[in-house]
Amino acid sequence: MENLKAGEKPQEYSVLTFTWGKYKDFAFTSREKKRHITWLRIYVIVFGLAGAVFGLLCQLAGHSIDCCQVHQFSYACYTLRWLYSGICFGFISANCIPKIFGVLSAFSIGLSMYFSMEVLKNDEAQSWIRTRSAAEFLKSESYKFATGIPPYNIDEDKTEILMDKTEKMIHTVEDIPCKILPEDKKSDKIPTPNLTVDQYIDVRVNDQINDYYQKNVNDYIRKINSAKNWSAIVSIFGIFLGALGFTGWTAGWVALSTTITASISGYIYANRFQYLIISYQSTSNRLEVLKNKWYACEKTDKQRYQFIMDCEEAISIENGSWMAELKNSPKVKING
C-alpha cells in the first residue's frame, strides 16, 4: 500500500493492482511469443537463402573443376586449386568441394523447411493472439475502473465487477503457460483510482497515440522502405546479370537474386506491416479527433463517460481488427 494516495480506498487499489499485474503478465507473455514467431520467420529466410547460395557454389565449383581438367596448366586453375586446397585444409581432394557445398545446401534447406513448419503450427500463434487479447482486455478494464465509468461508477459493486471480469479472463487462457513478471515490474505505469479526464488523456490516450501507434507506424514504414531499397538493388543486379549471361553462365546468380527478392517480400507480407500501418494510423487519427472533441464539448458526467468509452472502443476495435486479420491469414488460422 506504499503507493496509495489520499482518498483512495485500499480495497480498490488492491483489486486494480491485481488486474494490472495480470495484464502485465499476459502482455509480456504475448511479446515473448511474438518474438519467437518473428525469429522463426527470420530463420526460414536465412537458411533458405543459405541453401540457395550453397547450391549455387556447388554448381560453380563443379563447373570450375571440370574446366580445370581441360585447362590444367592455366594460371586460373592453379589459383582455384590453391583456394580449394585451403578450404579443405589439405586433408581431402578438391574434387570434394562441390559435394561439401551440396551437403551444406541440403542441410540449410532442411533447416529452413523445419522452421517453416514451426511457423505454420497453430499452437504458438493461438497463444500469442489469445494472450494479447487477454492483456488488452484487462488493460482497458483497468482504465475504465480507474476513471469510474459504467459499470464501475457504483462504489459498492465496482471491485466485485472488476474481480469477476479478471477471473473470467484468466480462465480463458489458463491452458497457456504464462511468464510471471517480478512484482516491482507489475506495477509499472499502473493507473491510480479516480483518474480525471486530463490524467486519462495523458497516461492512456496520448501514450497510445505517441508511444505505440505512431512509434510503430514509423518503425514499419522504415522497414518497408528498407525492404524496397534492398529489393530494388537485388533486382537491378539480377537484370544486369541476366543481360550479361546470354551464354547461360549467370543463370544461377539470377535465380539467387530472384530468391532474395521473394524472401524479402514474403517477410514483409507475413508480418502484415502495410496493414498495421493503415490500422494504426486510422486509430491514432480517431483518438486525436475524440480528444479534440472533448476539449470543445460541455464537461458533463455524461460527456465524460462517453468520451472515455469511445476511446476504449476505438482501441478495442483496432485490436479486434488486428486479430481478425491474423485469423484470416493463410499462415495463421485460429480455431473458434
For 258-293, write each residue's pLDDT tens digit. 888 888 888 888 788 888 999 999 999 999 999 999
Domain presence at residue 239: no
| pTM recorded for the entire structure | 0.80
Q: Where are the alpha helices (DSSP H) in the chain?
A: 10-70, 75-87, 97-120, 122-147, 158-172, 183-186, 197-200, 206-208, 214-244, 251-270, 273-296, 301-327
Check whether residue 330 and residue 205 sit in a common domain: yes
> Quick one: how far is CA 99 from the chain centroid?
38
Round the CA-based radius of gyration of the chain to a whole number and report it. Answer: 28
Distance CA 206, CA 284 (A): 9
Domain presence at residue 41: yes
Please tell me the total count of domains within the chain: 2
Domain presence at residue 233: no
CB 70 within 8 A of CB 121: no
Domain presence at residue 128: yes
Say how many residues make up the chain. Answer: 336
Confidence of residue 18 (pLDDT cuts 50, 70, 90): very high
Q: pLDDT digit string (tens) for 137-188? A: 999 999 999 999 989 987 778 899 999 999 999 999 999 989 888 888 888 8
Give the range of the structural domain holding residue 96, as residue numbers without chain letter. 8-134+152-181
CB 179 within 8 A of CB 227: no
Check whether residue 173 and residue 109 sit in a common domain: yes
Distance CA 181, CA 176 (A): 15
Return the pLDDT at 47.
93
Neighbour-count burial of 331, counting CB atoms closer than 10 A to its CB (0-12 exposed, 13-18 middle, 19+ buried): middle
In angstroms, what CA-CA distances link 127 with 30, 32, 190?
7, 10, 25
Torsion region of 189: left, alpha or beta (phi above 0 gives left; psi -120 to 50 gives alpha): left
Distance CA 196, CA 147 (A): 7
* In the predicted structure, residue 332 carries a pLDDT above the cut 70: no
Check whether residue 156 and residue 300 sit in a common domain: no
Return the pLDDT at 248.
58
Residue 100: count of CB within 10 angstroms of its CB: 17
Distance CA 128, CA 116 (A): 17
Domain presence at residue 15: yes
